[in-house]
A and B are shown apart, each in its own frame.
Chain A
Amino acid sequence: MKALLAFEDGRIFTCKSFTGPGETIGEVVFNTSMTGYQEILTDPSYYGQIITMTYPLIGNYGVCSKDIESDKIHARALIVKEYIDFYSNFRATETLAKYLKKEKILGVEELDTRALTRHIRNKGAMGAVISTFDLDPESLIKKAKKIKPIQGNDLVKKVTTKTPYLWHNNMPDYILEKDSINLSIWRYKGKKYSVAVLDFGIKYNIIRCLEKAGCEVLVLPAETNADIIKKLKPDGIFLSNGPGDPEPLNYAVNTIKHLLGYCPIFGICLGMQLMALAMGAKTFKIKFGHRGANQPVKNFLTNKIEITSQNHGFAVDINSIKEKGIEMTHINLNENSLEGFKNNALNAFSIQYHPESSPGPHDSLYLFNQFTKMMAL
């Protein structure tokens, strides 16, 4: 089915839908990971975005129910060079097209994804419309121009859990009675590290990694305030990844300010940006973001290089960290941007990339143990 993709700057790409009719809007970004399309689609950090996979053949290994990173697809659409409607993998349960259709997500193919990637690289991530209904370029460009920019918007409220949950049997165990959010909620208090997670759009694999490191994980809505969290007496607090701009999330920054110094805190991605804001540093939007599984990061504490999985469109201003006297622990070797910092006085540390991988290399799993070691002290 013929489809058209129109960018707000007027660039048009003709393509074909492989998931039937539809129309959708979003910020177009590209990911250079050659594997992991299902994990990427279900990562809540992609909320509101249209994902382009730079690897041209997508669908090869189908989808598998074990490979989800949240309860649904958060991306708005998927753009590929060639959709492969035949999978070969013993783990697969269905084709990617069927999965996208079930989740009502548009998938388009047969466009020059490399040209599109270069366009975004040169001009920056921007809004676009994909449609199979409206094939008039002028009308689509008009629609694309009306798209609200991601900057300045609170996207976390769209993806954070409404109901708190404990992680049980590799899935959320929702706590429906509000009154039960108290100290008695922990089932393994004293046996495992009790970790309260502020959910800004967490990936399941972060929870799995925390669990593997010996934690019992309680996931809380993003707007949970510091008093409630303190009443739970957690051994540690985790600030999750999530979509969009950290700056409008005043409530979260405020909560973190009240929690810093209370117990060990670990933040990943948006969690790091929010922690930085709470410490008085600054954040900004980067031109087209880092999305892939091959970015080299140097750990100053070990002098080792980790190949990392990344997905972020905003970053912490490295100078503002230096000015605040916060210790940098990790930098990106490609462009010397900030990838991690720690604050010993406040017992807190953060990482910009995704140590939980999924998809991507497992080089950085040690960070979860670093967190439990802090809680052991």
Chain B
Amino acid sequence: MPKRIDINKILVIGAGPIIIGQACEFDYSGTQACKALKEEGYNVILINSNPASIMTDPDTADKIYIEPVTSEIVEKIIEKERPHALLPTLGGQTALNTAMKLAKKGILKKYNVEIIGASEKAIKKAEDRELFRNAMNKIGLKIPKSIFACNINDVEKAAQKIGFPIIIRPSFTLGGTGSGIAYNSDELLDFAKKGLNASLINQIMLEQSVLGWKEYELEVMRDSSGNIVIICSIENLDPMGVHTGDSITVAPAQTLCDKEYQEMRNASIAIMQEIGVDTGGSNVQFAKNPKNGEIIVIEMNPRVSRSSALASKATGFPIAKIAAKLAVGFTLDEIKNDITGKTLACFEPSIDYCVVKIPRFTFEKFSETKDVLSTSMKSVGETMSIGRTFKEALQKGLRSLEIERYGLGADGKDIDIEKISKTDIEKKLVIPNSKRIFYIRYAFKKGMTLKNINELTNIDPWFLWQIKEIVEFEKIIKLKGKNLSYDVLEKAKKLGFSDKQIAHLTLFSEKEIKIKRKKLGIIPVYKLVDTCAGEFKASTPYYYSTYEKECEARISNKKKVIILGGGPNRIGQGIEFDYCCVHASFALKEENIESIMVNSNPETVNCSIWRSNAFKSC
């Protein structure tokens, strides 16, 4: 189906101010979408209140309203502009909620504005717990079991059906009083009594807990013909219980065999169809029981999300741009894959590297907030790293956080593990926190076993083994000390060790290691992110560095300038530096100078390929 000609003016709702859980990734998606719609000749009206965004640049849309993103203001804009359609799926939850309010108030009907992307019905079905539960039941997928109880007898019966641990949630209470997690019947009875008392209608909901299960996400796209493709699978290193935004996540999924992956793929497709998202990108989250492989659907977002931004940068597939084109009627087989220029957007990217996303926290700036991670998001930014091995990507990612760590450890910044007790380490492992990844290393150094660490953290043994390998190799580097051979040095670089770490372990200076390394010819190469694992020639210059044999960087004879990006967002350094980088790149282009962008923040616009001549993820 070609693009729709019955609509011309499209209103795009932006995400508004940056808040925790909704950062510049929606500037990235919104900008991409506006540009894509303009490219297709549509008249794009944009509302967003955030002036630090690329999106609100005069040339992004035909008309831009820098106004609060509320239903009242949007109503006024609709009244004035009379758009034919409203695209709410690219501006995060803010845009989606605003669109739903407008629909509820009857404003869209009044002005005859059509929601494109996801319909009102689909959004409701995905967001309303009860409707979602029914939808999942209908297609035979499981969601956490839950039963209402009004007395202790009911509670006991329900507990048998659900199994421990059980989450207790009293109905109609103020501020969630009386809720908790019970691991045995004594605790359950205790919580249940309190909960029943706390509830205004003496009712509690008992819910199956999937704490500690493995967590996965799939990024899905659908077009108006009903074609569905999976763009990326993501596995969380931190198991269920830590918000995805606060988890270290890895793409693609690492520990699923083909049969398990296909089961999840099939489930995602069925969910997309049942919820009824017409076109665009969605994100489906699953919990998986590591003991028997049982999968449970956690939620589905009928819009592009933070994970979509990550998936786009991780695979090279521009989800938001394609989502915008699908919303106006194009089908996946009518859109070219920008990276290869020859193949189509209708395919599933295959990647030949490992991507690690690590959240950036700022607990030090808020002394009253405890460094404890749970189900509400606390991170303020994130970094993405690409490597040919998980170990390389993990260490690179930790370095990119700009928290003065130069890898997993052995960088002179470790705590003195002689001075810390095993019990203290155990505490840091049991309760998820921003430093847990470093404490896993301390635990191994202290002689704790993989099994032991797995029991305390529920982090999959596969990840723990990878971390252990890094720790073990530290010993080898230390042992070789002054006589670092080519093999050891090369291997160290392949495992993601920085010169600073190697220097710390060998008592050389960082500079000495660098000189020695270069003398031996151990230098990074640049590999392409090409969506297809090398099967087709790629035309866009999107690179990552790694220690391999062949370098694919195409170096031109043009004058060129490197622009260093801002890295992960943090308090005091956010989206505005993305804005600056993008404009620097534009200015250089005007002067016919090639710009090479270096950055590690997957949420940004400057990381997207069309903005600069080359982009290198660090």
B533 touches A61 (CB 8 A): no
Contact (A90, B462) CB under 8 Å given A81-B389, A334-B347, A360-B258:
no
B333 touches A333 (CB 8 A): yes
Is B419 in the interface zone, CB < 8 Å from A? no
- Measured CB to CB, the nearest residue on chain A to B460 is A88
Contact (A307, B229) CB under 8 Å given A34-B351, A294-B348:
yes
Question: Would you give the shortest CB distance from B254 to chain A, in whole angstroms?
Answer: 5
What are 11 sample pairs from A and B whose C-beta atoms fall under 8 A apart?
A30-B535, A35-B258, A61-B260, A92-B257, A111-B549, A114-B548, A117-B534, A121-B537, A293-B350, A296-B346, A334-B347
| B532: chain A residues within 8 A (beta carbon) | 32, 294
CA distance A293 to B350 in the complex (A): 9
Question: Would you give the shortest CB distance from A196 to chain B, in whole angstroms?
Answer: 28
Is A24 in the interface zone, CB < 8 Å from B? no
| B461: chain A residues within 8 A (beta carbon) | 86, 88
Of A13, A86, A303, which is within 8 A of B465 by CB? Answer: A86
Top 10 nearest A-B pairs by Cβ distance?
A115-B550, A36-B258, A88-B462, A359-B258, A54-B533, A117-B534, A35-B258, A112-B549, A294-B348, A32-B350
Question: Would you give the shortest CB distance from A289 to chain B, in whole angstroms?
Answer: 10
Is B227 in the interface zone, CB < 8 Å from A? yes
Is A55 in the interface zone, CB < 8 Å from B? yes
Question: Would you give the shortest CB distance from A52 to chain B, in whole angstroms?
Answer: 10
Of B260, B261, B290, B354, which is within 8 A of A56 by CB? Answer: B354
Contact (A117, B346) CB under 8 Å given A91-B257, A358-B258, A361-B262:
no
| B261: chain A residues within 8 A (beta carbon) | 35
CA distance A81 to B535 in the complex (A): 16
- Measured CB to CB, the nearest residue on chain A to B342 is A334
Is B68 in the interface zone, CB < 8 Å from A? no
* Residues of B in contact with A, size category: 35 or more
Is A192 in the interface zone, CB < 8 Å from B? no
Contact with B along A107-148 (1 / 0, CB 8 A): 000011111011001000000000000000000000000000
CA distance A201 to B260 in the complex (A): 25
CA distance A86 to B461 in the complex (A): 9
CA distance A307 to B293 in the complex (A): 25
Contact with A along B343-367 (1 / 0, CB 8 A): 1101111111110000000000000
Is B527 in the interface zone, CB < 8 Å from A? yes
B352 touches A362 (CB 8 A): no
CA distance A329 to B618 in the complex (A): 46
| B262: chain A residues within 8 A (beta carbon) | 357, 359-362
Question: Would you give the shortest CB distance from A212 to chain B, in whole angstroms?
Answer: 15
Question: Would you give the shortest CB distance from B617 to chain A, in whole angstroms?
Answer: 16
B389 touches A90 (CB 8 A): no
Residue with the greatest number of chain B CB neighbours at <10 A, chosen from A87, A88, A117: A88
Contact with B along A330-360 (1 / 0, CB 8 A): 0001100000000000000000000001111
| A362: chain B residues within 8 A (beta carbon) | 262, 265-266
Of A89, A115, A361, which is within 8 A of B549 by CB? Answer: A115
B344 touches A333 (CB 8 A): yes
CA distance A133 to B527 in the complex (A): 32
Known: A89-B256, A334-B343. 7 other contacts (CB 8 A): A54-B535, A55-B351, A57-B254, A60-B254, A84-B462, A91-B259, A334-B347
A115 touches B548 (CB 8 A): yes
CA distance A117 to B536 in the complex (A): 10
Contact with A along B462-506 (1 / 0, CB 8 A): 100100000000000000000000000000000000000000000
Is B330 in the interface zone, CB < 8 Å from A? no
Is A199 in the interface zone, CB < 8 Å from B? no
Contact (A304, B389) CB under 8 Å given A61-B255, A117-B533, A121-B535:
no
Is A247 in the interface zone, CB < 8 Å from B? no
- Measured CB to CB, the nearest residue on chain A to B233 is A34
Is A369 in the interface zone, CB < 8 Å from B? no
Contact (A55, B257) CB under 8 Å given A88-B460, A307-B229, A333-B346:
no
